[in-house]
A and B are shown apart, each in its own frame.
Chain A
Amino acid sequence: MSAISSASKKPAGLINWGNGLTLASAIVIITGLYLAFIFAPPAANLRTPAEQFAQRIMYFHVGAAWVGFFAFFITFISGVLYLSKRTFYWDNLGYASVEIGLTFMTMVLITGSIWAKPTWNTWWTWSPRLTISAIGWLMYIGYLMLRGAMDDPSRRATFAAVYGIVSFISVPINFLAIRWWRDIHPAVVGSSAGEGSGGFDMSADMRTTLLFCVFAFTIFYVTLMYHRLKLGKTMHEIETVKQQILHQ
Protein backbone atom coordinates (compact mmCIF):
# COMPACT_ATOMS: atom_id res chain seq x y z
CA MET A 1 0.00 0.00 0.00
CA SER A 2 2.83 2.33 0.83
CA ALA A 3 3.94 2.20 -2.82
CA ILE A 4 0.70 3.77 -4.03
CA SER A 5 0.36 6.44 -1.41
CA SER A 6 3.94 7.59 -1.88
CA ALA A 7 3.38 7.82 -5.63
CA SER A 8 0.16 9.80 -5.34
CA LYS A 9 1.51 12.13 -2.68
CA LYS A 10 4.40 13.45 -4.72
CA PRO A 11 2.72 15.86 -7.21
CA ALA A 12 1.36 18.11 -4.51
CA GLY A 13 1.96 21.52 -6.08
CA LEU A 14 0.88 22.78 -9.47
CA ILE A 15 4.47 23.11 -10.56
CA ASN A 16 5.86 19.72 -11.51
CA TRP A 17 7.27 18.04 -14.59
CA GLY A 18 3.93 16.69 -15.78
CA ASN A 19 2.09 20.01 -15.69
CA GLY A 20 5.10 21.86 -17.05
CA LEU A 21 5.34 19.55 -20.06
CA THR A 22 1.59 19.66 -20.68
CA LEU A 23 1.64 23.45 -20.65
CA ALA A 24 4.71 23.54 -22.90
CA SER A 25 3.10 21.24 -25.48
CA ALA A 26 -0.13 23.25 -25.40
CA ILE A 27 1.87 26.38 -26.17
CA VAL A 28 3.99 24.85 -28.94
CA ILE A 29 1.06 23.05 -30.60
CA ILE A 30 -1.09 26.20 -30.62
CA THR A 31 1.88 28.18 -31.96
CA GLY A 32 2.35 25.44 -34.54
CA LEU A 33 -1.29 25.77 -35.60
CA TYR A 34 -0.88 29.53 -35.92
CA LEU A 35 2.27 29.11 -38.00
CA ALA A 36 0.73 26.44 -40.21
CA PHE A 37 -2.54 28.24 -40.92
CA ILE A 38 -1.70 31.93 -40.78
CA PHE A 39 2.02 32.60 -40.78
CA ALA A 40 3.09 30.21 -43.56
CA PRO A 41 2.37 31.61 -47.03
CA PRO A 42 0.22 29.56 -49.41
CA ALA A 43 2.28 27.39 -51.75
CA ALA A 44 2.83 29.36 -54.94
CA ASN A 45 3.23 26.39 -57.22
CA LEU A 46 -0.21 24.91 -56.38
CA ARG A 47 -3.17 26.22 -58.39
CA THR A 48 -6.51 25.10 -56.94
CA PRO A 49 -7.57 26.37 -53.51
CA ALA A 50 -8.16 22.78 -52.40
CA GLU A 51 -4.52 21.93 -53.07
CA GLN A 52 -3.33 25.08 -51.33
CA PHE A 53 -5.37 24.38 -48.21
CA ALA A 54 -4.38 20.74 -48.22
CA GLN A 55 -0.73 21.69 -48.46
CA ARG A 56 -0.92 23.15 -44.94
CA ILE A 57 -1.56 19.70 -43.56
CA MET A 58 2.04 18.91 -44.46
CA TYR A 59 3.42 20.72 -41.39
CA PHE A 60 1.63 18.46 -38.95
CA HIS A 61 1.94 15.43 -41.21
CA VAL A 62 5.74 15.64 -41.26
CA GLY A 63 5.84 16.29 -37.52
CA ALA A 64 3.73 13.21 -36.85
CA ALA A 65 5.80 11.09 -39.24
CA TRP A 66 9.00 12.11 -37.50
CA VAL A 67 7.56 11.16 -34.11
CA GLY A 68 6.11 7.94 -35.56
CA PHE A 69 9.52 6.70 -36.65
CA PHE A 70 11.39 8.20 -33.70
CA ALA A 71 9.11 6.25 -31.34
CA PHE A 72 10.20 3.09 -33.15
CA PHE A 73 13.79 3.96 -32.44
CA ILE A 74 13.03 4.50 -28.75
CA THR A 75 11.33 1.09 -28.64
CA PHE A 76 14.42 -0.46 -30.22
CA ILE A 77 16.75 1.18 -27.69
CA SER A 78 14.57 0.23 -24.74
CA GLY A 79 14.34 -3.33 -26.11
CA VAL A 80 18.13 -3.63 -26.15
CA LEU A 81 18.40 -2.12 -22.68
CA TYR A 82 15.63 -4.32 -21.33
CA LEU A 83 17.39 -7.46 -22.51
CA SER A 84 20.61 -6.39 -20.82
CA LYS A 85 19.20 -4.80 -17.63
CA ARG A 86 15.87 -6.63 -17.10
CA THR A 87 14.22 -3.78 -15.27
CA PHE A 88 10.59 -2.77 -15.51
CA TYR A 89 11.53 0.76 -16.56
CA TRP A 90 12.79 -0.25 -20.02
CA ASP A 91 9.82 -2.49 -20.71
CA ASN A 92 7.49 0.33 -19.72
CA LEU A 93 9.37 2.75 -21.97
CA GLY A 94 9.23 0.46 -25.01
CA TYR A 95 5.54 -0.26 -24.54
CA ALA A 96 4.65 3.40 -24.01
CA SER A 97 6.62 4.40 -27.09
CA VAL A 98 4.79 1.86 -29.25
CA GLU A 99 1.37 3.02 -28.10
CA ILE A 100 2.19 6.65 -28.74
CA GLY A 101 4.06 5.87 -31.96
CA LEU A 102 1.05 3.97 -33.26
CA THR A 103 -1.19 6.95 -32.56
CA PHE A 104 1.12 9.25 -34.50
CA MET A 105 1.56 6.75 -37.30
CA THR A 106 -2.22 6.49 -37.65
CA MET A 107 -2.30 10.27 -37.82
CA VAL A 108 0.37 10.19 -40.54
CA LEU A 109 -1.67 7.80 -42.66
CA ILE A 110 -4.91 9.75 -42.21
CA THR A 111 -3.46 13.22 -42.81
CA GLY A 112 -1.50 11.85 -45.75
CA SER A 113 -4.65 10.50 -47.36
CA ILE A 114 -6.52 13.75 -46.79
CA TRP A 115 -3.66 15.61 -48.47
CA ALA A 116 -3.27 13.09 -51.29
CA LYS A 117 -6.89 13.24 -52.43
CA PRO A 118 -6.82 16.86 -53.73
CA THR A 119 -3.13 16.74 -54.67
CA TRP A 120 -2.67 13.34 -56.31
CA ASN A 121 -6.38 12.81 -56.96
CA THR A 122 -6.23 9.52 -55.09
CA TRP A 123 -6.42 8.60 -51.40
CA TRP A 124 -3.58 6.17 -51.62
CA THR A 125 -0.73 5.22 -53.88
CA TRP A 126 1.98 2.60 -53.25
CA SER A 127 4.87 5.01 -53.15
CA PRO A 128 7.89 4.08 -50.99
CA ARG A 129 7.04 6.42 -48.15
CA LEU A 130 3.41 5.39 -48.02
CA THR A 131 4.25 1.73 -48.14
CA ILE A 132 6.90 1.95 -45.42
CA SER A 133 4.50 3.92 -43.17
CA ALA A 134 1.79 1.30 -43.68
CA ILE A 135 4.24 -1.51 -42.88
CA GLY A 136 5.47 0.39 -39.83
CA TRP A 137 1.90 0.79 -38.68
CA LEU A 138 1.34 -2.96 -39.07
CA MET A 139 4.49 -3.68 -37.05
CA TYR A 140 3.19 -1.52 -34.21
CA ILE A 141 -0.08 -3.43 -34.33
CA GLY A 142 1.85 -6.71 -34.31
CA TYR A 143 3.80 -5.57 -31.24
CA LEU A 144 0.61 -4.73 -29.35
CA MET A 145 -1.05 -8.00 -30.38
CA LEU A 146 1.99 -9.94 -29.24
CA ARG A 147 1.86 -8.25 -25.85
CA GLY A 148 -1.88 -8.77 -25.60
CA ALA A 149 -1.53 -12.51 -26.19
CA MET A 150 0.73 -13.16 -23.19
CA ASP A 151 0.10 -13.21 -19.43
CA ASP A 152 3.49 -13.76 -17.87
CA PRO A 153 4.91 -10.21 -17.41
CA SER A 154 8.61 -11.06 -17.69
CA ARG A 155 8.15 -13.21 -20.77
CA ARG A 156 5.89 -10.56 -22.29
CA ALA A 157 8.57 -7.95 -21.72
CA THR A 158 11.29 -10.14 -23.23
CA PHE A 159 9.31 -11.09 -26.33
CA ALA A 160 8.18 -7.53 -26.88
CA ALA A 161 11.79 -6.36 -26.63
CA VAL A 162 12.90 -8.97 -29.16
CA TYR A 163 10.11 -8.05 -31.57
CA GLY A 164 10.86 -4.35 -31.13
CA ILE A 165 14.51 -4.97 -32.03
CA VAL A 166 13.84 -7.23 -35.04
CA SER A 167 11.18 -4.97 -36.52
CA PHE A 168 13.31 -1.86 -36.10
CA ILE A 169 16.27 -3.53 -37.85
CA SER A 170 13.99 -4.35 -40.76
CA VAL A 171 12.83 -0.73 -41.20
CA PRO A 172 15.90 0.54 -43.15
CA ILE A 173 16.07 -2.64 -45.26
CA ASN A 174 12.36 -2.32 -45.93
CA PHE A 175 12.85 1.28 -46.93
CA LEU A 176 15.67 0.43 -49.32
CA ALA A 177 13.70 -2.44 -50.87
CA ILE A 178 10.59 -0.38 -51.41
CA ARG A 179 12.55 2.54 -52.84
CA TRP A 180 14.33 0.37 -55.38
CA TRP A 181 11.14 -1.39 -56.23
CA ARG A 182 9.54 1.87 -57.27
CA ASP A 183 12.68 3.21 -58.90
CA ILE A 184 12.77 0.21 -61.17
CA HIS A 185 9.07 0.66 -61.89
CA PRO A 186 8.57 4.42 -62.11
CA ALA A 187 5.17 4.15 -63.83
CA VAL A 188 3.17 5.08 -60.71
CA VAL A 189 0.73 7.94 -60.32
CA GLY A 190 3.14 10.89 -60.40
CA SER A 191 4.40 9.85 -57.00
CA SER A 192 7.90 11.23 -57.43
CA ALA A 193 6.55 14.64 -58.40
CA GLY A 194 3.96 14.50 -55.62
CA GLU A 195 6.54 13.53 -53.04
CA GLY A 196 8.81 16.29 -54.12
CA SER A 197 6.14 18.90 -53.56
CA GLY A 198 6.58 18.39 -49.81
CA GLY A 199 10.25 19.21 -49.98
CA PHE A 200 11.22 21.62 -52.76
CA ASP A 201 10.37 25.23 -53.42
CA MET A 202 9.77 26.02 -49.77
CA SER A 203 10.09 29.63 -48.76
CA ALA A 204 11.99 30.52 -45.60
CA ASP A 205 8.71 31.04 -43.69
CA MET A 206 7.45 27.65 -44.75
CA ARG A 207 10.68 26.02 -43.68
CA THR A 208 10.54 27.77 -40.30
CA THR A 209 6.97 26.55 -39.84
CA LEU A 210 7.91 22.99 -40.75
CA LEU A 211 10.89 22.92 -38.40
CA PHE A 212 8.83 24.43 -35.61
CA CYS A 213 6.08 21.84 -36.10
CA VAL A 214 8.60 19.01 -35.94
CA PHE A 215 9.92 20.53 -32.72
CA ALA A 216 6.37 20.98 -31.36
CA PHE A 217 5.51 17.35 -32.07
CA THR A 218 8.69 16.20 -30.39
CA ILE A 219 7.70 18.14 -27.25
CA PHE A 220 4.22 16.66 -27.51
CA TYR A 221 5.71 13.16 -27.79
CA VAL A 222 7.87 13.70 -24.73
CA THR A 223 4.84 14.96 -22.79
CA LEU A 224 2.69 12.00 -23.76
CA MET A 225 5.56 9.66 -22.93
CA TYR A 226 5.98 11.25 -19.50
CA HIS A 227 2.33 10.74 -18.60
CA ARG A 228 2.16 7.29 -20.18
CA LEU A 229 5.28 6.17 -18.29
CA LYS A 230 3.79 7.38 -15.03
CA LEU A 231 0.55 5.58 -15.81
CA GLY A 232 2.46 2.39 -16.61
CA LYS A 233 4.42 2.67 -13.40
CA THR A 234 1.25 3.15 -11.35
CA MET A 235 -0.37 0.15 -13.06
CA HIS A 236 2.70 -1.90 -12.29
CA GLU A 237 2.64 -0.80 -8.64
CA ILE A 238 -1.04 -1.63 -8.29
CA GLU A 239 -0.39 -5.04 -9.81
CA THR A 240 2.46 -5.62 -7.36
CA VAL A 241 0.32 -4.60 -4.38
CA LYS A 242 -2.52 -6.79 -5.65
CA GLN A 243 -0.21 -9.78 -5.85
CA GLN A 244 1.07 -9.03 -2.34
CA ILE A 245 -2.46 -8.94 -0.93
CA LEU A 246 -3.51 -12.08 -2.81
CA HIS A 247 -0.52 -14.02 -1.57
CA GLN A 248 -0.70 -12.89 2.07
Chain B
Amino acid sequence: MPPQTDTKNQSAATMQPAGAAPVRSRYFYKILAIVYKDITAELRTKEMLSAMFVFSLLVIFIFNFTFDLRTDNAATLAPGVLWVAIAFAGMLGLGRSFIVERDRGSLEGLLLAPVDRSAIYFGKFLGNVIFISVVEVGILPLFIVFFNQPLAVVPALVGVVVLGTIGFAGVGTLFSAMVVHTRARDVLLPILLFPVVVPVLLSAVRLTAGILDALPLEDIQSWLGLLITFDVIFLAASFILFEYIVEE
Protein backbone atom coordinates (compact mmCIF):
# COMPACT_ATOMS: atom_id res chain seq x y z
CA MET B 1 0.00 0.00 0.00
CA PRO B 2 2.30 2.79 -1.17
CA PRO B 3 -0.13 5.66 -0.44
CA GLN B 4 -0.22 4.73 3.24
CA THR B 5 3.52 4.88 3.57
CA ASP B 6 3.18 8.25 1.89
CA THR B 7 0.79 9.37 4.62
CA LYS B 8 3.35 8.59 7.24
CA ASN B 9 5.96 10.56 5.37
CA GLN B 10 3.52 13.40 4.97
CA SER B 11 2.51 13.49 8.61
CA ALA B 12 6.17 13.54 9.47
CA ALA B 13 6.59 16.39 7.03
CA THR B 14 3.70 18.37 8.50
CA MET B 15 5.38 18.24 11.90
CA GLN B 16 7.91 20.61 10.45
CA PRO B 17 7.10 24.34 10.48
CA ALA B 18 4.01 24.82 8.28
CA GLY B 19 4.65 25.97 4.74
CA ALA B 20 3.41 25.57 1.20
CA ALA B 21 5.19 22.28 0.63
CA PRO B 22 3.12 20.02 2.91
CA VAL B 23 -0.12 21.40 1.47
CA ARG B 24 1.07 20.67 -2.00
CA SER B 25 2.21 17.18 -1.17
CA ARG B 26 -1.14 16.50 0.50
CA TYR B 27 -2.74 17.47 -2.81
CA PHE B 28 -0.43 15.05 -4.60
CA TYR B 29 -1.31 12.40 -2.08
CA LYS B 30 -4.99 12.84 -2.88
CA ILE B 31 -4.26 12.50 -6.58
CA LEU B 32 -2.22 9.38 -5.90
CA ALA B 33 -5.02 7.94 -3.79
CA ILE B 34 -7.41 8.19 -6.76
CA VAL B 35 -4.81 6.66 -9.08
CA TYR B 36 -4.21 3.91 -6.56
CA LYS B 37 -7.93 3.19 -6.31
CA ASP B 38 -8.25 2.93 -10.10
CA ILE B 39 -5.26 0.64 -10.40
CA THR B 40 -6.47 -1.62 -7.58
CA ALA B 41 -9.93 -1.86 -9.13
CA GLU B 42 -8.41 -2.65 -12.52
CA LEU B 43 -5.97 -5.22 -11.19
CA ARG B 44 -8.85 -7.14 -9.60
CA THR B 45 -10.60 -7.66 -12.93
CA LYS B 46 -7.99 -6.77 -15.56
CA GLU B 47 -10.90 -6.59 -18.00
CA MET B 48 -10.11 -3.16 -19.37
CA LEU B 49 -6.38 -3.61 -19.84
CA SER B 50 -6.77 -6.95 -21.58
CA ALA B 51 -9.52 -5.59 -23.82
CA MET B 52 -7.42 -2.57 -24.74
CA PHE B 53 -4.36 -4.67 -25.48
CA VAL B 54 -6.17 -7.28 -27.57
CA PHE B 55 -8.01 -4.55 -29.42
CA SER B 56 -4.81 -2.69 -30.31
CA LEU B 57 -3.29 -5.96 -31.55
CA LEU B 58 -6.34 -6.49 -33.72
CA VAL B 59 -5.97 -3.00 -35.16
CA ILE B 60 -2.37 -3.80 -36.16
CA PHE B 61 -3.45 -7.10 -37.74
CA ILE B 62 -6.34 -5.52 -39.60
CA PHE B 63 -4.06 -2.84 -40.98
CA ASN B 64 -1.69 -5.55 -42.01
CA PHE B 65 -4.08 -7.21 -44.41
CA THR B 66 -6.22 -4.22 -45.44
CA PHE B 67 -3.18 -2.20 -46.52
CA ASP B 68 -1.26 -5.21 -47.76
CA LEU B 69 1.78 -4.35 -45.66
CA ARG B 70 5.07 -5.47 -47.12
CA THR B 71 8.64 -4.75 -46.11
CA ASP B 72 8.93 -2.06 -48.78
CA ASN B 73 5.88 -0.01 -47.73
CA ALA B 74 5.91 -0.85 -44.01
CA ALA B 75 8.11 2.11 -43.17
CA THR B 76 5.65 4.66 -44.60
CA LEU B 77 2.60 3.08 -42.99
CA ALA B 78 4.12 2.08 -39.65
CA PRO B 79 3.67 5.41 -37.79
CA GLY B 80 0.03 5.64 -38.78
CA VAL B 81 -0.65 2.05 -37.77
CA LEU B 82 0.99 2.54 -34.38
CA TRP B 83 -1.00 5.69 -33.61
CA VAL B 84 -4.33 4.40 -34.81
CA ALA B 85 -3.79 1.36 -32.59
CA ILE B 86 -2.92 3.58 -29.60
CA ALA B 87 -5.79 5.98 -30.27
CA PHE B 88 -8.40 3.25 -30.59
CA ALA B 89 -7.17 1.34 -27.56
CA GLY B 90 -6.96 4.60 -25.62
CA MET B 91 -10.52 5.41 -26.62
CA LEU B 92 -11.71 2.14 -25.11
CA GLY B 93 -9.94 2.89 -21.85
CA LEU B 94 -11.05 6.51 -21.66
CA GLY B 95 -14.64 5.53 -22.33
CA ARG B 96 -14.62 3.13 -19.41
CA SER B 97 -12.90 5.55 -17.07
CA PHE B 98 -16.02 7.30 -15.81
CA ILE B 99 -18.70 4.89 -17.02
CA VAL B 100 -17.37 2.27 -14.61
CA GLU B 101 -17.61 4.76 -11.74
CA ARG B 102 -21.15 5.62 -12.71
CA ASP B 103 -22.30 2.02 -13.13
CA ARG B 104 -20.84 0.96 -9.80
CA GLY B 105 -22.43 3.98 -8.17
CA SER B 106 -19.04 5.20 -7.01
CA LEU B 107 -19.11 8.47 -8.96
CA GLU B 108 -21.12 10.21 -6.24
CA GLY B 109 -18.73 8.86 -3.64
CA LEU B 110 -15.79 10.17 -5.59
CA LEU B 111 -17.39 13.60 -5.94
CA LEU B 112 -18.34 13.68 -2.25
CA ALA B 113 -14.76 12.92 -1.23
CA PRO B 114 -13.21 15.90 0.56
CA VAL B 115 -10.78 16.66 -2.23
CA ASP B 116 -10.47 19.45 -4.72
CA ARG B 117 -12.25 18.68 -8.00
CA SER B 118 -9.01 19.26 -9.88
CA ALA B 119 -7.43 16.45 -7.82
CA ILE B 120 -10.14 14.13 -9.16
CA TYR B 121 -9.34 15.26 -12.67
CA PHE B 122 -5.61 14.72 -12.28
CA GLY B 123 -6.15 11.41 -10.53
CA LYS B 124 -8.36 10.12 -13.30
CA PHE B 125 -6.05 11.59 -15.92
CA LEU B 126 -2.97 9.90 -14.42
CA GLY B 127 -4.86 6.63 -14.15
CA ASN B 128 -5.80 6.83 -17.81
CA VAL B 129 -2.23 7.69 -18.81
CA ILE B 130 -0.97 4.70 -16.82
CA PHE B 131 -3.49 2.30 -18.38
CA ILE B 132 -2.77 3.47 -21.90
CA SER B 133 0.98 3.32 -21.19
CA VAL B 134 0.72 -0.26 -19.99
CA VAL B 135 -0.95 -1.17 -23.28
CA GLU B 136 1.75 0.74 -25.16
CA VAL B 137 4.47 -1.17 -23.30
CA GLY B 138 2.83 -4.27 -24.74
CA ILE B 139 2.40 -2.92 -28.26
CA LEU B 140 5.78 -1.25 -28.80
CA PRO B 141 7.92 -4.43 -28.81
CA LEU B 142 5.44 -6.08 -31.15
CA PHE B 143 5.49 -2.98 -33.34
CA ILE B 144 9.31 -3.17 -33.50
CA VAL B 145 9.08 -6.87 -34.39
CA PHE B 146 6.26 -6.67 -36.93
CA PHE B 147 7.67 -3.63 -38.72
CA ASN B 148 11.28 -4.72 -38.42
CA GLN B 149 12.54 -1.52 -36.79
CA PRO B 150 15.96 -1.13 -35.11
CA LEU B 151 15.98 -1.14 -31.32
CA ALA B 152 17.87 2.17 -31.31
CA VAL B 153 14.63 4.08 -32.02
CA VAL B 154 12.97 2.88 -28.81
CA PRO B 155 14.02 5.68 -26.38
CA ALA B 156 12.92 8.49 -28.71
CA LEU B 157 9.77 6.58 -29.60
CA VAL B 158 8.88 6.17 -25.94
CA GLY B 159 9.24 9.93 -25.47
CA VAL B 160 6.86 10.68 -28.33
CA VAL B 161 4.41 8.04 -27.17
CA VAL B 162 4.35 9.53 -23.66
CA LEU B 163 3.76 13.08 -24.96
CA GLY B 164 1.06 11.89 -27.34
CA THR B 165 -0.64 9.89 -24.61
CA ILE B 166 -0.67 12.90 -22.27
CA GLY B 167 -2.39 15.08 -24.86
CA PHE B 168 -4.86 12.37 -25.79
CA ALA B 169 -5.73 11.45 -22.21
CA GLY B 170 -5.87 15.10 -21.08
CA VAL B 171 -8.84 16.02 -23.25
CA GLY B 172 -10.09 12.44 -23.17
CA THR B 173 -10.54 12.45 -19.40
CA LEU B 174 -12.55 15.68 -19.59
CA PHE B 175 -14.82 14.35 -22.35
CA SER B 176 -15.11 10.99 -20.63
CA ALA B 177 -16.54 12.73 -17.55
CA MET B 178 -18.92 14.53 -19.89
CA VAL B 179 -20.30 11.64 -21.93
CA VAL B 180 -21.08 9.59 -18.84
CA HIS B 181 -24.10 11.86 -18.28
CA THR B 182 -25.40 11.49 -21.82
CA ARG B 183 -27.64 8.84 -23.31
CA ALA B 184 -25.18 7.73 -25.99
CA ARG B 185 -22.24 7.46 -23.51
CA ASP B 186 -19.22 5.68 -25.00
CA VAL B 187 -20.56 5.98 -28.55
CA LEU B 188 -20.32 9.74 -28.25
CA LEU B 189 -16.75 9.89 -26.93
CA PRO B 190 -14.88 9.24 -30.21
CA ILE B 191 -17.15 11.70 -32.03
CA LEU B 192 -16.29 14.45 -29.57
CA LEU B 193 -12.65 13.55 -29.01
CA PHE B 194 -11.16 12.75 -32.41
CA PRO B 195 -11.72 16.13 -34.11
CA VAL B 196 -10.16 17.90 -31.11
CA VAL B 197 -7.08 15.66 -30.85
CA VAL B 198 -6.19 15.82 -34.55
CA PRO B 199 -3.08 17.92 -33.74
CA VAL B 200 -1.88 15.30 -31.24
CA LEU B 201 -2.28 12.44 -33.66
CA LEU B 202 -0.81 14.40 -36.54
CA SER B 203 2.27 15.61 -34.71
CA ALA B 204 2.80 12.24 -33.00
CA VAL B 205 2.61 10.46 -36.36
CA ARG B 206 5.01 12.96 -37.96
CA LEU B 207 7.44 12.63 -35.05
CA THR B 208 7.27 8.85 -35.16
CA ALA B 209 7.92 8.91 -38.90
CA GLY B 210 10.85 11.27 -38.33
CA ILE B 211 12.33 8.98 -35.69
CA LEU B 212 11.93 5.88 -37.84
CA ASP B 213 13.55 7.67 -40.78
CA ALA B 214 16.36 8.79 -38.43
CA LEU B 215 15.83 12.47 -39.31
CA PRO B 216 17.86 15.04 -37.34
CA LEU B 217 16.05 16.77 -34.49
CA GLU B 218 15.87 20.13 -36.32
CA ASP B 219 13.64 18.60 -38.99
CA ILE B 220 10.99 17.47 -36.54
CA GLN B 221 11.47 20.11 -33.84
CA SER B 222 8.39 22.10 -34.85
CA TRP B 223 6.20 19.02 -34.44
CA LEU B 224 7.67 18.39 -31.01
CA GLY B 225 6.90 22.00 -30.10
CA LEU B 226 3.35 21.66 -31.37
CA LEU B 227 2.77 18.46 -29.41
CA ILE B 228 4.07 19.99 -26.18
CA THR B 229 2.03 23.16 -26.78
CA PHE B 230 -1.10 21.12 -27.29
CA ASP B 231 -0.42 19.09 -24.13
CA VAL B 232 0.08 22.21 -22.02
CA ILE B 233 -2.88 24.19 -23.41
CA PHE B 234 -5.33 21.32 -23.23
CA LEU B 235 -4.26 20.09 -19.82
CA ALA B 236 -4.76 23.63 -18.52
CA ALA B 237 -8.13 24.03 -20.28
CA SER B 238 -9.37 20.62 -19.12
CA PHE B 239 -8.18 21.33 -15.59
CA ILE B 240 -10.20 24.57 -15.51
CA LEU B 241 -13.30 23.19 -17.23
CA PHE B 242 -13.48 19.89 -15.34
CA GLU B 243 -14.95 21.68 -12.35
CA TYR B 244 -17.98 22.71 -14.42
CA ILE B 245 -18.48 19.19 -15.75
CA VAL B 246 -18.71 17.37 -12.43
CA GLU B 247 -20.82 19.85 -10.49
CA GLU B 248 -24.10 18.39 -9.30
- Partner-B contacts on A (CB < 8 A): 83, 135-136, 138-139, 141-142, 145-146, 149-152, 155, 158-159, 161-163, 165-167, 169-170, 173-174, 176-178, 180-181, 184
**How far, in angstroms, from A149 to B233 measured CA to CA in the complex?**
28
Ranked nearest first, the 7 interchain pairs of A and B with the lowest CB-CB distance are: A149-B182, A177-B199, A149-B184, A149-B183, A173-B199, A177-B202, A138-B195
Dominant SS among interface residues on chain A: helix
Known: A158-B244, A173-B233. A145 touches B188 (CB 8 A): yes
**How far, in angstroms, from A150 to B180 measured CA to CA in the complex?**
10
Beta-carbon contact of A162 and B244 below 8 Å: yes
Could you list 20 further interchain pairs (A-B, Cβ under 8 angstroms) beyond the known A162-B245, A174-B198? A138-B194, A138-B195, A139-B196, A141-B191, A145-B188, A145-B192, A146-B182, A150-B182, A158-B247, A163-B175, A165-B241, A169-B233, A169-B234, A169-B237, A170-B196, A170-B234, A176-B226, A177-B226, A180-B223, A180-B226
A-B contact pairs, 11 of them (CB 8 A): A139-B195, A141-B191, A142-B191, A151-B183, A159-B245, A162-B178, A162-B245, A166-B196, A169-B234, A176-B199, A177-B203
Most chain-B Cβ atoms within 10 A of its Cβ — which of A146, A162, A174?
Answer: A162
**How far, in angstroms, from A181 to B209 measured CA to CA in the complex?**
12
**How far, in angstroms, from A212 to B86 measured CA to CA in the complex?**
47
Chain A residues lying within 8 Å of B148, measured Cβ to Cβ, are none
Of B182, B184, B229, B244, the residue contacting A83 (CB under 8 A) is B244
- Partner-A contacts on B (CB < 8 A): 171, 174-175, 178-179, 181-184, 188, 191-192, 194-199, 202-203, 206, 222-223, 226, 229-230, 233-234, 237-238, 241, 244-245, 247
**How far, in angstroms, from A169 to B229 measured CA to CA in the complex?**
12
Chain A residues lying within 8 Å of B194, measured Cβ to Cβ, are 138
Dominant SS among interface residues on chain B: helix
Instruction: Write the chain A residue with the least CB distance to B203.
Output: A177
Compute the total of residue contacts between A and B using a CB distance below 8 Å. Answer: 94
Chain B residues lying within 8 Å of A149, measured Cβ to Cβ, are 179, 182-184, 188
Instruction: Write the chain B residue with the least CB distance to A149.
Output: B182
Nearest CB of A to B154, in Å:
24
Chain B residues lying within 8 Å of A169, measured Cβ to Cβ, are 233-234, 237
**How far, in angstroms, from A146 to B176 measured CA to CA in the complex?**
12
Chain B residues lying within 8 Å of A180, measured Cβ to Cβ, are 206, 222-223, 226
Chain A residues lying within 8 Å of B174, measured Cβ to Cβ, are 162, 166
Known: A145-B188, A173-B226, A177-B202. A165 touches B181 (CB 8 A): no
**How far, in angstroms, from A181 to B238 measured CA to CA in the complex?**
26
